[in-house]
Chain A
Amino acid sequence: MSSKYLQFRRRVTDYFATFVAALLSAVVVGTLLAIFAYLIVKGAGSVNWAFLTHTPKPVGEIGGGMANAIVGSTLILGMGSLMGIPFGIGAGIYLAEYGRNRFGAVIRFTADVLNGVPSIVIGLVAYGLVVFTEGHFSAFAGAVALAIMMIPMVARTTEQMLLLVPQAVREAAFGLGIPQWRTTISITLATARAGILTGIMLAFARIAGETAPLMFTALGNQFWSFSANQPIAAVPLQIYTYALSPYDDWHRQAWAGALVLVALIVGTISLVRFIFARSTLREAR
């Protein structure tokens, strides 16, 4: 075979592979953009000041908004993250740094199973744990449901990210006489933090859109509520209720709610990334 032919064939293969990779990326990015575009087309018209600052109007009255649901979602997500993230990171640390044994394998398996449990089942569990024992629906119960969903996701990504930290980094720390717990907190976790943060953000985005676990826990309402012990509205619940209703105005509001929810998620992730990127730039590079 002539070298000219070989050269030609290699170039064609190279172009072809690059084209396929670019095409596949375009499909992924395109899908995301299409969702955003559709949400904006359908929802942007109904997002206005009243939508963001008012509570829902009674059936039949036009107008009103989702302000109480936005606050409710923020509250539930905040409490859920506060419970889920520390437990998740803690479990991840155990799995990566101490869990090379039978017990670790059991936890790893359990976490994977929990990751696969349908969210509505987790809602039922939180109902049994919190709502049933306390005797009433509450924002707290919703947060517990979301935290249960968050823990295995955060735990497994934390574990994976910690395992990516080279053993040489841990050895360097041990060689300086730094105790293992200190090494884990100040060196291994710090080295893996970018990846762990990404995992937390993914888990957050995932639970932020959950509706089913909130149905029998947070329940939803039509009024202002800032209490962890009362039923509370949440954007996904409100979207669900409005989308299934027969009223055009509610349909519009459901689209607006979906747009606001996505904006909230993207906004939170961008903010965390921004703060994190600045703190990294300061000390490194």
Chain B
Amino acid sequence: MPTAVEVRDLKAWFGKTEALHGINIAVESNHATAVIGPSGCGKSTFVRCLNRMHETIPEARAEGQVKVGGMDIYDAPAVDVRRKVGMVFQKPNPFPSMSIYDNVAAGLKLNGTSNRKTLDEAVERSLRQAALWEEVKDVLKKKSGASLSGGQQQRLCIARALAVDPEVMLMDEPASALDPISTAKIEDLIFELKQKLTIVIVTHNMQQASRVAEYTGFFLMGHLVEFDRTEKIFTNPSDKRTEDYITGRFG
């Protein structure tokens, strides 16, 4: 299988504090890769380095090589990178001033697409992919994105990210603010989306990692301790620290 994201010696800083100490990883395309680890281990920082969102924080910077589909993202304009590598955040964050339609169309519209038909098609396609179309198709332009339920908002955010047709989708604990039913919907969605793109998902929930991801990386204090097939990580980890974490001895 080809590699979608290749990371070499990635280091990240917040001011003078080094948060990632040289990460090497190859993410396989059209699969889901889970990133697990205790709070503060650098897993969010790691995924935010994969679409250059890390550097939007004041005084934060990153070093190393990240290749997405052969393109070195630290040599390309950040806005181009982020269109190729989409992101879904922990808390649903629809644009509160916009309708459902405008939320989904935002990435295209504000990057210069004004063709009505293209936008209509992209909105419907994305909402269908995010399994939200049936629930909102009658109120697309009447209801604001913020008026939906939390679970619907998160699927709206996934649709919004899908609308710009990314190759990779980063998900930073996308279900941690949602109830179990909404969580299950998001997990089903991840299965569907893998047909089209590559997913990197940060999660605190180890069952979730084992349900949705073929590969899992375990982070600890800014190091990637172990990276392997998910069932290997959860049944027969090579590293003592991974075993301690997944069996609940710390973290």
CB within 8 Å of B: which residues of A? 100, 166, 168-169, 171-179, 182-183, 186-187, 190-191, 193, 283-285
Are B144 and A283 in contact, with the CB atoms below 8 A?
yes
With beta carbons under 8 angstroms apart, the residue of A173, A174, A179, A283 that contacts B99 is A283
Are A175 and B95 in contact, with the CB atoms below 8 A?
no
Query: Known interface pairs A176-B83, A283-B102. Does A171 touch B53 (Cβ–Cβ under 8 Å)?
Result: yes
Are A169 and B96 in contact, with the CB atoms below 8 A?
yes
* A175 CA / B53 CA spacing, docked (Å): 7
Are A190 and B97 in contact, with the CB atoms below 8 A?
yes
CB within 8 Å of A: which residues of B? 51, 53, 56, 58, 79-83, 86-87, 89, 91, 93-99, 102, 106-107, 110-111, 141-144, 146-147, 157, 160-161, 164
Interface of A is mostly: helix
Interface Cβ pair total, 8 Å cutoff: 88
Chain B nearest CB, measured from A252 CB (Å): 48
Are A175 and B51 in contact, with the CB atoms below 8 A?
yes
Are B107 and A178 in contact, with the CB atoms below 8 A?
yes
Are B97 and A187 in contact, with the CB atoms below 8 A?
yes
Specify which chain B residues have a CB less than 8 angstroms from the CB of A176 in the assembled complex.
82-83, 86, 106-107, 110-111, 160-161, 164
Specify which chain B residues have a CB less than 8 angstroms from the CB of A191 in the assembled complex.
95-97
Are A177 and B82 in contact, with the CB atoms below 8 A?
yes
* A171 CA / B86 CA spacing, docked (Å): 12
Specify which chain A residues have a CB less than 8 angstroms from the CB of B147 in the assembled complex.
284-285
Are B111 and A166 in contact, with the CB atoms below 8 A?
no
Are B58 and A100 in contact, with the CB atoms below 8 A?
yes
Specify which chain B residues have a CB less than 8 angstroms from the CB of A178 in the assembled complex.
79, 106-107, 110-111
Query: Known interface pairs A176-B86, A176-B107. Does A168 touch B81 (Cβ–Cβ under 8 Å)?
Result: no
Query: Known interface pairs A172-B89, A191-B96. Does A179 touch B79 (Cβ–Cβ under 8 Å)?
Result: yes
Specify which chain A residues have a CB less than 8 angstroms from the CB of B106 in the assembled complex.
173, 176, 178, 186-187
Are A173 and B95 in contact, with the CB atoms below 8 A?
yes
Are A186 and B143 in contact, with the CB atoms below 8 A?
no
Centre residue among A169, A177, A183, A285 by max chain B CB count within 10 A? A177
Specify which chain B residues have a CB less than 8 angstroms from the CB of A283 in the assembled complex.
97-99, 102, 141, 144
Specify which chain B residues have a CB less than 8 angstroms from the CB of A284 in the assembled complex.
97-99, 143-144, 146-147
Residue of A nearest to B139 (CB): A285
Are A169 and B93 in contact, with the CB atoms below 8 A?
yes
Are B95 and A177 in contact, with the CB atoms below 8 A?
no
Residue of B nearest to A192 (CB): B97
